[in-house]
Structure 1
Amino acid sequence: MITKQIFKIEGMHCTSCSLLIEGDLEDLNGVLNAQANYVRSECLVEFDDEQLNTEVIIGTVAQIGYKLQPLT
Protein backbone atom coordinates (compact mmCIF):
# COMPACT_ATOMS: atom_id res chain seq x y z
CA MET A 1 0.00 0.00 0.00
CA ILE A 2 1.22 3.51 -0.76
CA THR A 3 1.87 5.57 2.37
CA LYS A 4 2.55 9.29 2.74
CA GLN A 5 4.59 10.27 5.80
CA ILE A 6 5.73 13.71 6.91
CA PHE A 7 8.94 13.93 8.94
CA LYS A 8 10.52 16.78 10.90
CA ILE A 9 14.17 17.14 9.86
CA GLU A 10 16.92 18.15 12.28
CA GLY A 11 20.35 19.25 11.09
CA MET A 12 19.66 20.97 7.75
CA HIS A 13 21.76 24.08 7.13
CA CYS A 14 20.84 25.06 3.56
CA THR A 15 18.79 24.12 0.51
CA SER A 16 21.57 21.79 -0.66
CA CYS A 17 20.86 19.70 2.44
CA SER A 18 17.28 19.22 1.29
CA LEU A 19 18.45 18.14 -2.18
CA LEU A 20 20.84 15.61 -0.64
CA ILE A 21 18.07 14.14 1.54
CA GLU A 22 15.67 13.93 -1.42
CA GLY A 23 18.26 12.22 -3.58
CA ASP A 24 19.18 9.59 -1.00
CA LEU A 25 15.53 8.82 -0.25
CA GLU A 26 14.56 8.59 -3.92
CA ASP A 27 17.37 6.05 -4.42
CA LEU A 28 15.60 3.65 -2.02
CA ASN A 29 13.52 0.92 -3.63
CA GLY A 30 9.91 1.62 -2.77
CA VAL A 31 10.16 5.41 -2.47
CA LEU A 32 7.93 7.02 -5.08
CA ASN A 33 8.53 10.65 -4.11
CA ALA A 34 10.53 12.62 -1.55
CA GLN A 35 10.16 16.36 -1.02
CA ALA A 36 12.36 18.02 1.60
CA ASN A 37 11.58 21.61 2.56
CA TYR A 38 14.50 23.55 4.07
CA VAL A 39 12.39 26.49 5.30
CA ARG A 40 9.90 24.26 7.14
CA SER A 41 12.50 21.61 8.12
CA GLU A 42 10.10 18.93 6.91
CA CYS A 43 10.15 16.10 4.44
CA LEU A 44 7.19 14.40 2.75
CA VAL A 45 7.93 10.84 1.66
CA GLU A 46 5.55 8.77 -0.45
CA PHE A 47 6.50 5.09 -0.35
CA ASP A 48 5.27 1.52 -0.77
CA ASP A 49 5.01 0.14 2.77
CA GLU A 50 5.28 -3.41 1.42
CA GLN A 51 8.85 -2.66 0.27
CA LEU A 52 10.15 -0.55 3.17
CA ASN A 53 9.12 1.11 6.43
CA THR A 54 9.75 4.36 8.28
CA GLU A 55 12.68 2.86 10.20
CA VAL A 56 14.55 2.29 6.91
CA ILE A 57 13.78 5.85 5.81
CA ILE A 58 14.95 7.29 9.14
CA GLY A 59 18.10 5.14 9.07
CA THR A 60 18.97 6.17 5.52
CA VAL A 61 18.81 9.85 6.38
CA ALA A 62 20.72 9.30 9.65
CA GLN A 63 23.62 7.86 7.62
CA ILE A 64 24.10 11.24 5.95
CA GLY A 65 23.91 13.20 9.22
CA TYR A 66 20.28 14.25 9.64
CA LYS A 67 17.60 13.20 12.12
CA LEU A 68 14.01 12.50 11.06
CA GLN A 69 11.02 12.37 13.38
CA PRO A 70 7.61 11.26 12.05
CA LEU A 71 4.90 13.94 12.31
CA THR A 72 1.90 12.07 10.93
Structure 2
Amino acid sequence: MTEENIKTIKLNLQGLHCTSCIMNIEGELEDTPGVKKVKASFAKSEAEVTFDEKLVSPEKIVEIIKKLGYSAEVVG
Protein backbone atom coordinates (compact mmCIF):
# COMPACT_ATOMS: atom_id res chain seq x y z
CA MET A 1 0.00 0.00 0.00
CA THR A 2 1.32 3.41 -0.95
CA GLU A 3 0.15 6.82 0.16
CA GLU A 4 -0.98 7.64 -3.38
CA ASN A 5 -3.75 5.05 -3.02
CA ILE A 6 -5.11 6.72 0.13
CA LYS A 7 -8.07 9.02 -0.53
CA THR A 8 -10.51 10.92 1.68
CA ILE A 9 -14.13 11.62 0.78
CA LYS A 10 -16.86 13.60 2.51
CA LEU A 11 -20.36 12.15 2.61
CA ASN A 12 -23.70 13.80 3.25
CA LEU A 13 -25.77 11.42 5.41
CA GLN A 14 -29.56 11.25 5.69
CA GLY A 15 -31.88 9.15 7.80
CA LEU A 16 -29.94 9.60 11.05
CA HIS A 17 -32.05 9.53 14.20
CA CYS A 18 -29.47 9.68 17.00
CA THR A 19 -25.79 9.28 17.82
CA SER A 20 -26.23 5.50 17.80
CA CYS A 21 -26.82 5.76 14.05
CA ILE A 22 -23.39 7.39 13.72
CA MET A 23 -21.80 4.67 15.84
CA ASN A 24 -23.46 2.04 13.64
CA ILE A 25 -22.09 3.61 10.44
CA GLU A 26 -18.61 4.15 11.90
CA GLY A 27 -18.43 0.60 13.22
CA GLU A 28 -19.50 -0.99 9.94
CA LEU A 29 -17.12 1.12 7.86
CA GLU A 30 -14.19 0.60 10.24
CA ASP A 31 -14.66 -3.16 9.76
CA THR A 32 -14.51 -2.77 5.97
CA PRO A 33 -11.18 -3.83 4.40
CA GLY A 34 -9.43 -0.77 2.98
CA VAL A 35 -11.13 1.79 5.20
CA LYS A 36 -8.48 3.51 7.31
CA LYS A 37 -10.42 6.17 9.23
CA VAL A 38 -14.03 7.25 9.71
CA LYS A 39 -15.10 10.49 11.35
CA ALA A 40 -18.87 11.03 11.36
CA SER A 41 -20.99 13.80 12.87
CA PHE A 42 -24.63 13.47 13.87
CA ALA A 43 -24.99 17.26 14.25
CA LYS A 44 -23.67 17.92 10.73
CA SER A 45 -25.15 14.75 9.15
CA GLU A 46 -21.85 14.05 7.44
CA ALA A 47 -18.93 11.68 7.47
CA GLU A 48 -15.34 11.85 6.34
CA VAL A 49 -13.87 8.53 5.25
CA THR A 50 -10.20 7.85 4.51
CA PHE A 51 -9.61 4.68 2.51
CA ASP A 52 -7.28 2.77 0.19
CA GLU A 53 -8.84 3.08 -3.25
CA LYS A 54 -7.14 -0.16 -4.34
CA LEU A 55 -9.25 -2.06 -1.78
CA VAL A 56 -12.56 -0.18 -1.60
CA SER A 57 -14.34 2.42 -3.76
CA PRO A 58 -16.47 5.42 -2.80
CA GLU A 59 -19.40 3.61 -4.40
CA LYS A 60 -18.87 0.59 -2.15
CA ILE A 61 -18.71 2.86 0.93
CA VAL A 62 -22.05 4.45 -0.05
CA GLU A 63 -23.52 0.98 -0.69
CA ILE A 64 -22.50 -0.19 2.80
CA ILE A 65 -24.17 2.84 4.40
CA LYS A 66 -27.34 2.30 2.34
CA LYS A 67 -27.49 -1.36 3.42
CA LEU A 68 -27.60 -0.08 7.02
CA GLY A 69 -30.76 1.86 6.16
CA TYR A 70 -29.33 5.35 5.66
CA SER A 71 -28.83 7.54 2.61
CA ALA A 72 -25.37 8.74 1.66
CA GLU A 73 -24.03 10.97 -1.08
CA VAL A 74 -20.41 11.84 -1.88
CA VAL A 75 -20.06 15.63 -1.68
CA GLY A 76 -16.31 16.07 -1.70
Q: 3-state SS of the aligned residue for 1:9?
A: strand
Q: Does 1:55 align with 2:59?
A: yes
TM superposition outliers: structure 1 runs of 4+ over 3 Å: none
Q: How many residues align?
A: 72
Which one of the candidate residues 28, 37, 40 is aligned to 2:44?
Answer: 40
TM-score (norm 2): 0.92
Q: Gaps spanning 5+ residues in structure 2: where? A: none
* Bigger CA radius of gyration: 2
Q: Gaps spanning 5+ residues in structure 1: where? A: none
Q: 3-state SS of the aligned residue for 1:18?
A: helix
Q: Distance in 1 between matches of 2:17 and 2:64?
A: 18
RMSD: 0.5
